[in-house]
Amino acid sequence: MQSSIKNLISRRHLLRILVSSNLKRQNKNTTLGYLWWLLDPILMTGVYYLLVAVLFRRGDGNSPYLMYLLLGLLSYKAFSGSLAQSVSMLQNQGAIIKAISFPKAVLPISMVLSNAVYFIVALLVAMGMGIYYGPEWGSWPNWYYLMLPLVISFQVMFTVGLALIVATLGVFFKDTANILGHLLRMWYFFSPGLYSLDKIPDHLLPYFRLNPFCELMTAYRDIMIFGRMPTVFDLGYSFITGVVSLLFGYWVFRRYEGRLVQKL
């Protein structure tokens, strides 16, 4: 069954089942279970804070740097985790794909939505941190939190598009997972996860801002740390890159979907 829009809509119940299954399966053999999705970025936040803010005495002096780090790591983990899991998902589910007729695109899409669920829950931890820093920095929950679903939806669109592409590449090129792992690590350091865009030289800033995560991370921090509306540029660029990624990723997947079963 092809992954046409009509088939995806008619099989939306399958997508819900897969998301639920992914959430249960990822942590079923661990003692702490779902807490690991929170603990991983929290522990990494602690490591980066120790290295950057404590040892090297660097950081963003205009905001609570611990929360600044956490928001960047949480949003990027939802993105990178989705791609890392999607790249081999079609291969791992090869037997099911050959045995049952269903739109194959639901597999990587379900992985992105699963990580989005974790991300939304994790933002509650960031919200609690905002309350903690509120008396000093004024980072209280505010009305601009209503913009969070919009920003998250832009990130989900962007991630779904790339997840469809890497899932397709993963079937045809076995080294895709290894290459992707290195690219994702590099991508994070070229995103403002550890530093603010104010630290970037003016002549390099336009190139850095081509990275969609410059605008996404900035939007999350504007809302949850600074209590202000994300800029029109941040929202507009995030929306455009999300739509372009989604459409292009869907086109690539549909183009090669008929050959996937033969390669599995």
- pLDDT, tens only, 157-179: 999 999 999 999 999 998 999 99
Total domains in the chain come to: 1
In 3D space, the residue among 112, 122, 65 whose CA is nearest the CA of residue 89 turns out to be 112
Which residue would you say has higher pLDDT here, 153 or 124? 153
Tokens encoding 201: 């030289």
Query: What does the pLDDT look like over 113-141, one tens digit per residue?
Result: 999 998 998 898 889 889 999 988 888 99
The pLDDT score that the predictor gives to residue 25 is 77
Residues 6+ apart with CB under 8 A from 112: 82, 86, 156, 159, 160, 163
CB 109 within 8 A of CB 17: no
Percent of the chain with pLDDT over 70: 92
Tell me: the pLDDT tens digits for 39-51? Answer: 777 787 888 778 7
pLDDT winner (highest mean) among 131-140, 198-207, 245-254: 245-254
**Ranges 62-76, 147-161, 164-178, most confident:** 147-161
Per-residue pLDDT tens digits for 78-114 = 999 999 999 999 988 888 888 888 889 999 999 999 9
Which of the four pLDDT bands, split at 50, 70 and 90, describes residue 12?
confident
Mean of the pLDDT values across residues 28-38? 64
Identity of the residue numbered 252: V
User: What average pLDDT does the chain have?
Assistant: 88
Range of the domain at 215: 5-263
Percentage of residues in the chain having pLDDT higher than 90? 52
CB contact set of 252 (below 8 Å; sequence gap of 6+): 164, 165, 168
pLDDT in tens, 237-248: 999 999 999 999
